[in-house]
Chains A and B, each alone.
Chain A
Amino acid sequence: EAQVTQNPRYLITVTGKKLTVTCSQNMNHEYMSWYRQDPGLGLRQIYYSMNVEVTDKGDVPEGYKVSRKEKRNFPLILESPSPNQTSLYFCASSLKPGQAYNEQFFGPGTRLTVL
């Protein structure tokens, strides 16, 4: 089944404790992205990756890191989480940008609470 998976789905942590949210897709998509969703603000892009070893900042990259060592995986790293990073996080992937059919497929989401 073609899908984007994220782990964990729910996480409660404390300020300053490093964490990683994993994202994996099995559709051989070149493009992957991370978003955070907050009430009244919609979906805001954190980082995106056009291909392996190619990443770039989105609109709200502060406090986050990413890596793209393999095509299928795009982990989101919070080196020192703070309460303002409490949010619902979505990973998404799509075919090579510029293709005629370019739907972004979203993962199930990770609800993160930083105390």
Chain B
Amino acid sequence: GENVEQHPSTLSVQEGDSAVIKCTYSDSASNYFPWYKQELGKRPQLIIDIRSNVGEKKDQRIAVTLNKTAKHFSLHITETQPEDSAVYFCAASMGDYKLSFGAGTTVTVRA
């Protein structure tokens, strides 16, 4: 099955700086790559996703890039704010239903 690795496991950034989280996947047939944000005690929520026919997608301060050849994708958060503090999960999927998640990255934004 699909194996998704996520790095780093924890990330501390100064408010206003950028944060980057990287994921690699094993199955070249995977074609859908969502990112979820989970605030403390809350449920995961989708923040951005990308499909394999797109190399980059941006939504305000967050962006995701995909390198199909290298089988890795990354989440970029610019101008970080305290409300960006959360656990972020990447995931990969074939056919948009069976999601395989990374282990998560705990992001702390220091004021």
Q: Is chain B's interface secondary structure helix, strand, loop, or mixed overall?
A: strand
Q: Give chain A interface residues in 87-108, CB to chain B under 8 Å.
A: 90, 94, 97-99, 102-104, 106-108
B101 touches A43 (CB 8 A): yes
A30-42 interface mask toward B, CB cutoff 8 Å, 1 = contact, 0 = none? 0101010000111
| Closest CB in chain A relative to B57 CB, distance in Å | 14
Chain A residues with CB under 8 Å of B6's CB are: 42
The answer to whether residues A44 and B97 also contact, given A104-B46, A107-B43 and a CB cut-off of 8 A, is: no
Alpha-carbon distance A97/B104, docked complex (angstroms) = 24
Give min CB distance, A49 to chain B, whole Å.
10
Output the least CB separation between A50 and chain B (Å). Answer: 7
The 8 A CB mask of B64-87 against A (1 = contact, 0 = none) is: 000000000000000000000000
In contact, B44 and A58 (Cβ under 8 angstroms): no
Asked whether any CB of chain A lies closer than 8 Å to the CB of B45, the reply is: yes
Q: Which residue of A lies closest to B1 (CB)?
A: A59
Check if A109 sits within 8 Å of B95, measured CB to CB. no
Identity of the chain B residue whose Cβ is nearest the Cβ of A90 in the assembled complex = B43
Mask, A5-44, CB within 8 Å of B = 1, is: 0000000000000000000000000010101000011111
A108 lies within 8 A of B97 (CB): no
Number of A-B contacts (CB under 8 A): 54
Say yes or no: is B61 at the interface (Cβ < 8 Å to chain A): no
How large, as a class, is the contact surface on chain A?
A: 20 to 34
Q: Give the shortest distance, in Å, between B18 (CB) and chain A (any CB).
A: 23
Q: Please give 20 more A-B residue pairs, beta carbons under 8 A apart, in addition to A42-B102, A106-B44.
A: A33-B99, A41-B103, A42-B103, A43-B91, A43-B99, A43-B101, A45-B98, A59-B1, A59-B100, A90-B43, A94-B96, A94-B97, A99-B96, A102-B32, A102-B49, A103-B34, A103-B46, A106-B43, A106-B45, A107-B43
11 A-B contacts (beta carbon < 8 Å): A33-B97, A41-B103, A42-B89, A43-B89, A59-B1, A97-B96, A99-B96, A102-B49, A103-B34, A106-B44, A106-B45
